[in-house]
Amino acid sequence: MTMTLMIATLAAAALGPGIANPLDPAAEPTHVAVFYADLDLGSAAGQTALHRRIARAADEACVNAGDGFDFPRAMHEQHVCRARAALGTETVLAARGLPMLH
């Protein structure tokens, strides 16, 4: 079993005032690895530690989401990026039979 999760995100690219193209074919995804081989995922503490690592990795992967937008829109794009990263991670966790995020 793989003991690493990869969080991949695509940040929205500014096309003009208030217009974003989150599926820009030229956009390169940001990948951040989340290692969990050292965690006991059968325990609440291990699951909490994994979820913290995933949240930090999503923050790192989404730090540039919204570049080129005004502050409120940039913050929104970062929030959306982190939510998409969490949803993608949920899918991977479920496929591996691991505890999902709460």
Query: What was the pLDDT predicted at 15?
Result: 44
The share of the chain scoring above pLDDT 90, in percent, equals 19
In this prediction, the residues of the chain whose per-residue pLDDT falls under 50 are 13-20
Q: Strands 19-21 and 13-16: what pairing?
A: antiparallel
**Quick check: is 102 in a domain?**
yes
Range of the domain at 60: 31-102
Q: Residue 23: inside a domain, yes or no?
A: no
User: Does a structural domain hold residue 80?
Assistant: yes
Q: Is residue 25 part of a domain?
A: no
Residue 2 lies in a domain: no
Domain count, the chain: 1
Say if 85 falls within a structural domain.
yes
pLDDT of amino acid 11: 56
* 11 half-sphere exposure, CB direction, 13 A CA radius: 22
Does 87 map to a domain?
yes
Query: Which pLDDT belongs to residue 2?
Result: 62
